[in-house]
């Protein structure tokens, strides 16, 4: 299981429940400081099945990363990837998507959670949502979940917090690009 933009490892507990003792979590983040916190989190909980890699998803070479994962005891390709509030932080999220899916086995599952302007009753919160995203370095207009809708099958769609949070999951299709 890939955790793209894993940060401090907040998803690891949930992912551990999902993958079980025989699975592996590969956390990829460009921030050494975030990965240090993720390393402490994994160590404190005794999770020996966590591999952490410092890399920029926009710039990385999937083949080289697959080799690093194998050298660390993981499988060269993963069956699933999760990007939680991370793709909209990347200047070229489409390239990051391509690199992420390049690390997946054919028919791998992918999940994206990210943000947009609130809609409906929550529309009045738009200035606050835009400010929060700007302060965090996120592009609220990026809409990276579109890649799941356009390039995956069996797509599950959900939203929360007045449409501000967009959640998509799906199964990748071979050789389609944005």
Domain coverage including residue 77: 2-172
Q: What are phi and psi of 89, to 5 degrees?
A: -85, -15
Give the CATH number of the domain where residue 126 resides: 3.40.50.150
Task: Read off the pTM.
Answer: 0.90
For the chain, where are the alpha helices, taking DSSP H only?
A: 12-19, 32-44, 62-71, 93-101, 126-136, 146-151
Q: What is the pLDDT of residue 151?
A: 92
Average pLDDT estimate for 3-26:
94
How confident is the model over 96-112, as pLDDT tens digits?
999 999 999 989 999 99
In this prediction, residue 177 carries a pLDDT of 52
Is 86 within a domain?
A: yes
Task: Identify the pLDDT of residue 162.
Answer: 87
């Amino acid at each position: 299981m890939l955790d793209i933009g894993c940060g401090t490892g907040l998803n690891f507990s949930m992912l551990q429940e999902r993958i079980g003792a025989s699975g592996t979590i590969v956390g990829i983040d460009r921030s050494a400081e975030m990965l240090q916190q993720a390393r402490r989190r994994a160590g404190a909980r005794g999770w020996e099945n966590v591999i952490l890699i410092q890399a920029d998803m926009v710039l990385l070479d999937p083949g080289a990363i697959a080799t690093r994962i194998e050298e660390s005891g993981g499988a060269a390709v993963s069956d699933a990837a999760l990007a939680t509030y991370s793709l909209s932080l990347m200047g070229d999220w489409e390239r990051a998507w391509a690199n992420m899916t390049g690390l997946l086995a054919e028919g791998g599952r992918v999940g994206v959670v990210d943000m947009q302007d609130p809609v409906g009753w929550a529309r009045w919160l738009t200035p606050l949502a835009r400010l929060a995203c700007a302060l965090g370095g996120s592009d609220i207009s990026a809409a990276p979940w579109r890649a799941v809708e356009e390039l995956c099958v069996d797509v599950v769609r959900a939203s929360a917090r007045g449409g501000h949070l967009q959640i998509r999951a799906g199964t990748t299709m071979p050789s389609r690009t944005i």
